[in-house]
Structure 1
Amino acid sequence: MRMRVNARERWRVVVGAGIGLFLTALASMALSHGSPTIPWLIAPLGASAVLVFGLPASPLAQPWPVVGGNSVSALIGIACTLAWGPTPMTAAVAVALAIAAMFALRCLHPPGGASALLVVLLGTTDPRFALVPVFTHSFALALAGIVYNNATGKRYPHRQGVAAPVPSASHQPVFTEADLDTVLKRYNQVLDVSPDDLQALLAQTELESYRRRLGELRCRDVMSTDLVTVEFGDSLQDAWKLLRERRIKALPVVDKVRRVVGVVTLADFMRHADLDFHHGWVERLRSFITPSPTPYSTKPETVGQIMVRQVRVASADRRLSELVPLFADTGHHHIPIIDDDKRLVGIITQSDVVAALCRSH
C-alpha cells in the first residue's frame, strides 16, 4: 500500500535519522577514547533509527524498548554464546529467547533481535559489551530522538497511557474504548500503533466520512426558515412562553432589521433563575419571569439582559459539511444562518444535520 506521507515528513525522518546516528557515533567515540576494540556504532542502531525518527508514536520505538530491548537482547546473546559457542543453533535460540524476554519486560523492539544475533555472530562473550557499546549507543540514540522529534513537532516519548486527542469531547464515535479492546484481543497481534492513536484515527475517519457524505449541500438547503425570534427589549415572560409553546431550546435575538444581536436559551433562564437546585424551582422560575410591578428592579426584566451576545453564525451559501466541526467540537446545538446583508434567514440545528446525513446516506 502506498505510504501517505508528504515530502516534508519524509525529509524530517531522513535528516533526523542522519543526525541521530551521527551524534550517537560521536558520543561513542568520545566515551571509548578511540579504543579500537569498541565499535563506534553497532548495526542494529540503523533499524532503531528508522523506528525512533520514522515512527515516533509506535510502541516499538519508545525509549524503553530502544534501550531495554537492545541491551537485554545483547545480554541474552552473550549468555547463549558463552553456553554453546557461536553456532547456527545458538543464533536461533538467542533471538528466540531475546524476543521472549522483550515481551516479558514490555520492551519489544525489532532491532533487539538483531542485537542478540550480532553478539553471536561476533562470538562475543564479554558481558560488558551489553553496556558498552549496546546500552550507551541505544541511550544516546533515544536521547537524540527525544530532542529532535519534539523540536520538529512530534511528541516523543509518546505516552501510551494518555488518550490521544479525538475530534471533540462532545462527538463520540460509534464504538467505545471497550469495543476496541475486545477487537484487539481477538486480533491478537502486535500493532505498530498504540490503541489510543488507533481510536483517534478511527474517530477522525468517521468525522471525515460525515463530511464526504454531506457533499455539496449548502446551509440554505437544510436550514429551518420557520423562524421564531425575539428582540432585545422583549420581556422574559414572552420569551419563555415562546420557548415552551414552540418546544425549542433557543431564540435568536434580532434588531429592527433582523440582524442577529444575540441568542437566548433555556440554559440562560436556568442560570439566571438559579435553578441548579430542584427544590422550589417552579416558584423561582415564576418569580424570575414575572415582570416587576415597580419601575426599579434588582433582577433582569428583558431578553437583552440575559442573552448571550457572542453568537456563531454561518452564511446561507456555506457548505453544510463545514458546520460539522462546529456542532462536534464546540458543543453548539443551533447556528443562525444569515444572508449577504447579514440578516437572519434561517437556523440550523443538530437535528437538521443528522436528517441531511441520513438523506445523503
Structure 2
Amino acid sequence: MKNFWPSPLGIDRGERVRFVAGAVVGVLVTALLGRWWAGHGVGGPWLVASLGASAVLVFGMPSSPLAQPWPVLGGSAVSALVGTACAALIPDPALAGAVAVGLAVALMVPLRCLHPPGGAMALYMVLTASDGLHLPGLSVLLNLLVLLAVAVVYNGLTGRRYPHPQRREQRADAQSGGFAASDVDAALAHYNQVLDISRADLEGLLHLAGRAAFQRTLGDIRCAQIMSTPPLAVAADASLKDAWALMRAQQIKALPVMDASMVVIGIVTVADFMRLANLDVHEGLGQRLKTLVLGRSGQPTTVGAIMSSPVQVAQVGQHAMDLVPLFSQGGHHHVPIVDGDHRLLGVITQSDLMRTLARALQVPGEAAAHTAAVAPPIPLAADRQKG
C-alpha cells in the first residue's frame, strides 16, 4: 500500500509560487486574447479546456520533454485531427472516444510529440461532435501559440530556460564523471519506459549524484591523513652519491629537497638521475649512472644542481582529492606536503592516493566480510613513499 502514498515533489516554496503564478498568468492572458478574438469573428470556443493541463506542464515542468513546444503544438494538433476523424467515422461516442485517445497516443510517440493533454483534446473533439458542436482548428492553434509565447517569456524571466535543451553538449571530458553518453543510452534502453525528464537533465542529475557521492566518501579526507611521515628528504648541497644511496636503501623514487630552515625548495627523482645519465642510449647506462653518482663525469655533483624547482606542493590541511588533477593530468608522482611556512611535513604519492580511493570505494558489506583476507598491512613511512 505504501506505493499508493504520494511522495513529496522536492521543490521549495519559491518554485511553487513561480509555478502557480505562471499557470495563472498563462491561462489568463490566453483567455483574454481568446475572448477578444471570439468577439472579432474567430469561430469556436475562445478557450480550450485542455489548455489548463498544458499550462501545468509548460510552467510547472518546463524542462520536461512532454512540455516542449513541439509536443504542445504537434501533440494537440494530431490529437484534434484524430478526434475529429473518429467522431465522423464511429457512431458510438464511447467507442469513438476510446479509439481516438488510443490512436492519438499511437501517433504522438513516433512523431516525438507525446503530450498528455493531447489525449484530452482527442476525447474532447469526440464529445463536442456528439453534442453537435464544431471546434475549428484556428481557435485551438491560437490558444496554444499564446500559451507558448507566455511560457517562453515567463520562464525566461523567472530563471527557467524554455524551450529546454534535451541533450547535453558533448565535451572532450564527457567521460570524466565516471560514465559516458553511451552508458546513459544503454541504461535508458534497458529501462524501456517513458521518462518525464529530459535526457540532458537526467545525465546532469547523474553527474551531480556521482559528485555528491564522491564528496561524501572522499571529500573530507585531508592530506595530513594519508601522507607519509616522517618524510625522507635531502639538503640542496647533499651529494648525488648520498641521495642515490638513500633512494636505493629505502627503495623510493623521489626525495624532497630542503634548505637549512626545512623549507621545500625542490625535488629530486630517479628520472633526474636518468636524464643526466643519457637514458635514451641504453648501452652502458649502468656504468654512466655509476660515473654520474660518483662525480667522475664532469657533470653536477650536488642534488641542488639537478633537482626540479620550483616544486608542486600541497598544504597539510588541503583536501586530498585536490591532488587528483596533479597526478592524473599534471604528470606528478610525488607531492610534498607542507605547513603554512612551507616547511616539509610529509609526502603523498600516487600509491597513497590510490589506496585511499580503493578503501573509500569498497562496498561496505564486502569490506567487512573480507577485511581479514585482503586488507594489506599498514605500510611503513619509507614504503609508502615508494611509487
TM-score (norm 2): 0.65
Q: Which runs of 5+ in 2 are unaligned?
A: 1-6, 282-291, 293-297, 299-304, 365-387
Cα deviation code 1:236-264 (max 9, x no counterpart)? xxx9xx9998446xx87877655678999
| 1:357 pairs with one of 343, 360, 363 | 360
| Paired AA for residue 351 in structure 1 | M
Structure 1 residue matching 2:161: 3-state secondary structure: coil
Quickly say closer, same or farther: Cα 1:75–1:211, change in 2 above 3 A: same
Does the Cα contact within 8 Å between 2:258 and 2:264 map onto a contact in 1? yes
Q: Aligned pair 1:181/2:181, yes or no?
A: no
- 1:220 maps to which residue? 224
Structure 2 residue matching 1:104: 3-state secondary structure: coil
Compare 76-85 and 88-97 and name the one that shifted more. Answer: 76-85
Does the Cα contact within 8 Å between 1:160 and 1:196 map onto a contact in 2? yes
Quickly say closer, same or farther: Cα 1:72–1:15, change in 2 above 3 A: same
Query: How far apart are the structure 2 equivalents of 1:138 and 1:15?
Result: 18
Deviation at 1:69, TM superposition (A): 0.7
- 1:71 maps to which residue? 77
Structure 1 residue matching 2:136: 3-state secondary structure: helix
Deviation at 1:24, TM superposition (A): 2.5
- 1:171 maps to which residue? 176
The 5-angstrom pairing of residues 41-190 of structure 1 reads: 41-84=47-90, 87-123=93-129, 129-130=136-137, 132-163=138-169, 169=174, 171-173=176-178, 175-190=179-194
- 2:384 maps to which residue? none
Deviation at 1:95, TM superposition (A): 1.0
Deviation at 1:126, TM superposition (A): 8.5
Structure 1 residue matching 2:109: 3-state secondary structure: helix
- 1:207 maps to which residue? 211
| Paired AA for residue 190 in structure 2 | R
Cα deviation code 1:56-110 (max 9, x no counterpart)? 2211111100111112211211222232357111111111111111112110011
Quickly say closer, same or farther: Cα 1:94–1:229, change in 2 above 3 A: farther
Does the Cα contact within 8 Å between 1:16 and 1:148 map onto a contact in 2? yes
Query: How far apart are the structure 1 equivalents of 2:65 and 2:54?
Result: 13
Larger radius of gyration: 2
Query: How far apart are the structure 2 equivalents of 1:336 and 1:27?
Result: 70
Query: How far apart are the structure 2 equivalents of 1:243 and 1:146?
Result: 66
Deviation at 1:188, TM superposition (A): 1.9
Compare 343-352 and 17-26 and name the one that shifted more. Answer: 343-352
Deviation at 1:38, TM superposition (A): 3.7
Does the Cα contact within 8 Å between 1:228 and 1:252 map onto a contact in 2? yes
Q: Aligned pair 1:339/2:339, yes or no?
A: yes
Does the Cα contact within 8 Å between 1:86 and 1:120 map onto a contact in 2? no
Does the Cα contact within 8 Å between 1:219 and 1:337 map onto a contact in 2? yes
Compare 106-115 and 254-263 and name the one that shifted more. Answer: 254-263
TM-score (norm 1): 0.69
Runs of 4+ in structure 1 deviating by more than 6 angstroms, as ranges, are 124-128, 228-234, 242-245, 251-256, 260-267, 332-335
